[in-house]
Chains A and B, each alone.
Chain A
């Protein structure tokens, strides 16, 4: 399997004496779904921001895929257009794709996440679960090989979590998901990395890692 992301010895701190990430190394291969779990403040979101180059970290990040899609924790940070269709098509239009083709791709992406019926509505009028799925559609429309998701289940109710899991499970792209929703990741991720105090303290198959009560207790996850 071809790797799409390689991270080597990544370190970052907002203050020198308090590092948030300490020598994080891992890789993601094509089509794989990897979960990063960690308690609040473990450095999950910071790690994603460092991967995207939004924070300047030391170490190496090699994004080997041509296109990377990102789903941020708060959909309002991503969706701002007068309609979902425009929000999803925007990245394509911006790349110079003809409007008709961009529309067609956007409709297909919205259908994939079950939101084709809401294409003409603005994101602000949708439920949080729908907005999260719309963010995924916006990321998918650009045809990414790697999808990064930051806490996709945050503030969602049980049904919305199940719908989201259903959407993510069917995607043929590599996915890197940060979350502390263990049940959600158990059914979705093939591999789990446990982040604690900025370090990866464990890595392995989802069933094995998420079944280790003492490991999860030590990482502040249960």
Chain B
């Protein structure tokens, strides 16, 4: 529950950051931060509520629905990868720094986020390669 609350807080924080950037750069705020939160809520609800198990057997291969189901499953898997990698990188950072807000906290956070981006790209590349080899690109 704590993690879920943190996740929601993270998305709200990200939307707030988007709003701030928009405000400082153009002097006005568009619907982008609201859309960001809405997409998060809708996609989270979809991933929790849709019956993913067995879905691939229920749709016709090659149809639009088939592509949509596969895409949903890809995103679902990749969200799990992102969660695992974030947890690893942020735990490693926490173990390395002496105090949460001590000297170098921002620098270490920046390095951790850069490492996360790098790891995620590597995982995405491997995942793409593996699925392509399995014939999912055909």
Cβ-defined partner of A77 (8 Å) among B57, B80, B130:
B130
> In the assembled complex, which residues on chain B have CB atoms less than 8 Å from the CB atom of A90?
56, 134, 136
Residues on the A chain within 8 Å of B138, using CB: 94-95
B126 touches A82 (CB 8 A): no
Q: How far is the CB of B14 from chain A (nearest CB, A)?
A: 25
Interface set, chain A 67-86, CB cutoff 8 A to B: 68, 70, 72, 74, 76-78, 80-83, 86
- Which one, B52, B54, B136, contacts A94 given CB within 8 A? B136
Counting CB contacts under 8 A, is B103 at the interface?
Answer: no
In angstroms, Cα B137 to Cα A95, docked, is 11
| A49 sits at the interface (CB 8 A) | yes
* Interface locus among A17-25, A96-104, A188-196, A198-206: A96-104
User: Is A29's CB within 8 Å of the partner chain B?
Assistant: no
Chain B residues, Cβ within 8 Å of A138: 134
Chain A CB count within 10 A is highest, among B61, B62, B81, for B61
Main secondary structure on B side of the interface with A? helix
CA distance A99 to B133 in the complex (A): 21
Contact A82 B53 (CB under 8 A): yes
Question: Min CB distance, B85 to chain A, in Å?
Answer: 11
B77 cross-chain contacts in A, Cβ below 8 A: 80
A78 to B52, CA, bound (A): 17
CB contacts (< 8 Å) of B82 on chain A: these are: none
Q: Given A49-B129, A80-B77, is A95 in contact with B56 using a C-beta cutoff of 8 Å?
A: no
Whether the pair A77, B126 counts as a contact (CB closer than 8 A) is yes
Most buried by B among A74, A89, A94, A124: A94
Residue of B nearest to A139 (CB): B134
A-B interface, 8 closest residue pairs, ranked by CB to CB distance from nearest: A80-B77, A99-B57, A82-B53, A77-B126, A77-B130, A78-B130, A82-B52, A70-B133
Q: A86-B56, A93-B57, A96-B62 are in contact. Are A72 and B130 (CB under 8 A)?
A: yes
**A124 proximity list for chain B (CB < 8 A):** 80
Q: Does B74 contact A (CB under 8 A)?
A: yes
- Taking the closest CB of chain B, its distance from the CB of A131, in whole angstroms, is 13
Closest to B133 in A: A70
Q: Could you tell me the distance in whole angstroms from the C-beta of A56 to the nearest C-beta in chain B? A: 13
Query: Which parts of B80-138 form the interface with A (CB within 8 Å)?
Result: 80-81, 123, 126-127, 129-136, 138
Are A52 and B133 also in contact (CB < 8 A) when A94-B61, A96-B61 are?
A: yes
The winner among A74, A81, A96, A124 for most chain B CB atoms within 10 A is A81
